[in-house]
């Protein structure tokens, strides 16, 4: 009888080699290259919030001054368009996130700010050139020199708001407290229809300090979270889920709590603030880590974070997807914890391809 086994061995070896070279879904989601494509603007003072206008220009909020500036789409000198009233900047508090509603002619914007008595969300008129009248839509969020949250994100006719525990971890587990939560509101500031807890603005709880919020292409909400000393997190946010703080930092391995999708340990390599999602990759800006990380996403899972080589930029606060498909990355070396360099703070344009 003729033995055919020797003929099969090369075929098996070939198939095995192909299996080793086929990328996973997560690997396939990674861009080929992320590179610096120039400086958008310089001379910002402790910038925090960033929101794009329909023409590709952007509004930038300065944490300590309370000013909002407009940055041209093509880059260049930023111009002041107004100042948010009532900002009482101290520690990590001040003028934090800003958000613009979709559409060709937005007539208002939202801002998250620290006042003398609380953190709050306000709605501010916008005529295309200058800020207008201002009114609060949500007040009474606990404030502190630390852990004020401050992220804002619009989805349809609702507004997501991230808050910190304001230095008191137990608040994150208290469903009646606005601290240590992600909230979901109508544009008037009321609990949004469909929220997981009837009559409550709370969308998720058990957060230490969330600043970055982003939606992926399937409408899933992702958030960055500062750890205390061991683990920083990127979380997939599910309505009604408890993310464990202060009972757990990092994976809880307990079905009562939601585990992070990706982590950094120790926290000295990260302290994640802003997050943006382009394609199937999340980009996370870090403060202590002074690094932009890319995190490939595959459905509801995330792969290991990988540092993007961009050279020395210092502390990184915010990253956002511009209308032209580039990323705008904002430094934060003038926030009192960095080492300012000539021209700081600045926005760098990144090309992804």
Query: Could you tell me if residue 5 is inside a domain?
Result: no
Residue 39 located in a structural domain: no
User: What are the DSSP calls for 139-192, one per residue?
Assistant: EEE---SS-----EEEETTEEEEE-B-TT-GGGGG-TT-STTEEEEEETTSSBP
23, pLDDT greater than 60: no
Cα(39)–Cα(349) distance, integer angstroms: 6
List of residues 6+ apart from 61 with CB closer than 8 A: 47, 48, 49, 50, 67, 68, 84, 95, 96, 97, 98, 111
Angle at 72 between CA 98 and CA 132, to 5 degrees: 45
Rounded CA-CA distance 165/172 in Å is 6
In a domain, 315, yes or no: yes
| Cα–Cα distance, 282 to 294 (Å, whole number) | 6
Please report, for the domain that includes residue 329, its CATH number: 2.120.10.30
Mean pLDDT, residues 143-154: 98
| Residue 278 bridge partners (DSSP) | 281
Longest dimension (CA), the chain: 92
Residue 290 lies in a domain: yes
With 60 as the cut, is the pLDDT of residue 14 above it? no
Q: Please report the pLDDT score of residue 32 as a whole number.
A: 61
Q: Please determine, for residue 168, whether its predicted confidence score (pLDDT) is greater than 50.
A: yes
| Residue 96 located in a structural domain | yes
Indicate the pTM of the whole model: 0.91
Within a domain: 12? no
Strands 131-141, 34-41: pairing kind: unpaired
Q: State whether residue 213 is helix, strand or coil.
A: strand
Q: What is the domain range of residue 113? A: 46-352
What does the mean pLDDT of the chain come to? Answer: 92
pLDDT at 10 > cutoff 70: no
H or E segment and range at residue 7 = helix 5-21
Task: Dump pLDDT digits (tens) for 31-78.
Answer: 569 999 999 999 999 999 999 999 999 999 999 999 999 999 999 999
pLDDT, tens digit (0-9, with 9 covering 90-100), for 189-209: 999 999 999 999 999 999 999
User: Domain total for the chain?
Assistant: 1
15 or 281: which carries more pLDDT confidence? 281
What pLDDT, on a 0 to 100 scale, did the predictor assign at position 29? 46
Distance (Å, rounded) from C-alpha 353 to C-alpha 342? 30
pLDDT value of residue 229: 87
- The model's pLDDT over 82-136, given as tens digits with 9 standing for 90+, comes to 999 999 999 999 999 999 999 999 999 999 999 999 999 999 999 999 999 999 9
pLDDT at 174: 98
- CA-based Rg of the chain, rounded to a whole angstrom? 22
Q: For residue 288, how many other CB atoms are within 10 A of its CB?
A: 18
Tell me what pLDDT residue 270 has. Answer: 98
For residue 5, is pLDDT > 90?
no
pLDDT band at 12 (very low <50, low <70, confident <90, very high): very low
Cβ atoms of 115 and 89 within 8 Å: the answer is no
Q: Is 226 inside any structural domain?
A: yes
Residue 19 has pLDDT above 50, yes or no: no
Residue 141 lies in a domain: yes
Question: HEC profile for 48-104?
Answer: EEEEECCCCCEEEEECCCCEEEEECCCCCCCEEEEECCCCCCECCECEEEEECCCCC
């Amino acid at each position: 009888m003729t033995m055919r086994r020797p003929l099969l061995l090369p075929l098996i070896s070939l198939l095995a080699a192909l299996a080793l070279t086929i990328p996973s879904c997560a690997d396939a989601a990674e861009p080929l290259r992320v590179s610096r494509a120039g400086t958008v603007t310089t001379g910002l003072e402790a910038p925090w919030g960033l929101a794009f206008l329909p023409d590709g220009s952007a509004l930038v909020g300065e944490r300590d001054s309370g000013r909002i500036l407009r940055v041209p789409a093509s880059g260049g000198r930023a111009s002041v368009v107004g100042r948010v009233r009532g900002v009482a900047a101290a520690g990590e508090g001040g003028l934090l996130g800003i958000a613009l509603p979709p559409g060709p002619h937005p007539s208002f914007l939202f801002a998250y700010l620290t006042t003398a008595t609380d953190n709050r969300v306000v709605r501010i008129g916008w005529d295309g050139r200058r800020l207008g009248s201002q009114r609060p839509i949500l007040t009474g969020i606990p404030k502190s020199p630390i852990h004020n949250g401050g992220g804002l994100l619009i989805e349809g006719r609702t507004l997501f708001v991230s808050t910190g525990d304001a230095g008191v971890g137990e608040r994150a587990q208290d469903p009646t407290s606005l601290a240590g939560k992600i909230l979901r509101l109508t544009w008037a500031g009321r609990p949004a229809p469909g929220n997981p807890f009837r009559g409550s603005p709370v969308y998720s709880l058990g957060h230490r300090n969330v600043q970055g919020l982003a939606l992926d292409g399937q409408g899933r909400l992702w958030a960055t979270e500062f750890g205390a000393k061991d683990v920083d997190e990127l979380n997939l946010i599910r309505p009604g889920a408890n993310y464990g703080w202060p009972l757990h930092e990092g994976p809880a391995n307990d079905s009562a709590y939601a585990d992070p999708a990706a982590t950094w340990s120790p926290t000295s390599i990260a302290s994640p603030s802003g997050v943006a999602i382009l394609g199937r990759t999340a980009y996370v800006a870090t403060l202590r880590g002074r690094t932009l990380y890319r995190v490939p996403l595959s459905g509801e899972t995330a792969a290991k974070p990988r540092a993007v080589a961009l050279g020395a930029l210092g502390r990184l606060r915010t990253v956002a997807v511009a209308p032209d498909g580039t990323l705008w990355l904002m430094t934060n070396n003038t926030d009192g914890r960095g080492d300012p360099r000539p021209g700081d703070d600045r926005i760098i344009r990144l090309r992804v391809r």
